Amino acid sequence: MRKELDRIRQGKQESFKGTYPPEISPLTNDINTLVTHYRSLLERARTHTGNLAHALKTPISVMQNDLDSDNEPDKALLLSQLNTMRQHVEYHLARARLAGSARILGASCSPYQQCKNAASAFERLYQIKGLAVNLEADPALKVAVDAKDFDEMAGNLIENAFKWAENGLWIHTRASENMVEVYVEDDGPGMTEHECQQALQRGKRIDEHTPGSGLGLSIVVDVVAAYQGRLSLTRSELGGLCACLYLPRQR
């Protein structure tokens, strides 16, 4: 174990590979989980840096072109672009803080309670649509995920469902010994298989006419990866989109 730990420190391997007796294996498993988690946090930080740089390019170009022109600078235009830049900076700083505060060992939350809170909030926001929300989940079921991170993942998926649903949405869970599947389905227009693949790419917009940064689903992918889970997008039985989070069950 000491030899493997030295190799991990030296960057020669990424985790413990050996088979250890029952007295030791829980420790090596937890160390592997921590190493993977903080490697994911580092990747998320790099992703936020890239997203921020990408988001600032356009307003900076607009401001530069306006200042380089022979005409008097348009003060209203410059102020609007500065405001856009400020919003992007605040957004990505908030995301970076959330990523940095994430914890993996001892993290726990109830998908039922977190989804219930999120659905209740969006029901008020989208009250005019009068959508029917069906939540089916075991209140006693727990995932090994920090509550704020779960809200970031499920909140994005539930908001998308509220945005596109025509009559209602269905939130439900399925559990195995080690994993929990959290499904968010709607009866909206849905997406093709190609669009589902595109939607998981950073900043990729499927519908340019709806508001948003285009980062929502890619942020979900980043967060779920930190917990060694995954996100899938398929066609729902309701006719719209079915988004499923695969997350580790609390031991």
For 140-177, the pLDDT digits (tens) are 999 988 888 899 899 999 999 999 999 999 999 999 98
What are the boundaries of each domain within the chain? 26-101, 111-248
The confidence band for 212, taking pLDDT boundaries of 50, 70 and 90, is: very low
Q: Are 227 and 33 in contact (CB under 8 A)?
A: no
Q: Are 140 and 93 in contact (CB under 8 A)?
A: no
List, for residues 92-124, the tens digit of each pLDDT value.
776 665 555 555 666 789 999 999 999 999 999
In this predicted structure, the answer to whether residue 182 has a pLDDT above a threshold of 70 is yes
Residue 184 and residue 182: Cα distance in Å, rounded?
7
Backbone angles phi, psi at 171, to 5 degrees: -115, 120
Q: pLDDT at position 207, please?
A: 44
In this predicted structure, the answer to whether residue 125 has a pLDDT above a threshold of 50 is yes
- Which structure tokens are listed for 118? 């999120």
List, for residues 15-47, the tens digit of each pLDDT value.
899 889 989 988 888 888 888 877 777 777 777
Q: pLDDT at position 211, please?
A: 42
Q: Are 170 and 239 in contact (CB under 8 A)?
A: no
> Residue 175: which H helix or E strand, with range?
strand 168-175
Q: What is the CA radius of gyration of the chain?
A: 21
CB atoms under 10 Å from CB of 113, counted, come to 14
CATH superfamily of 111-248: Histidine kinase-like ATPase, C-terminal domain (3.30.565.10)
In this predicted structure, the answer to whether residue 214 has a pLDDT above a threshold of 50 is no
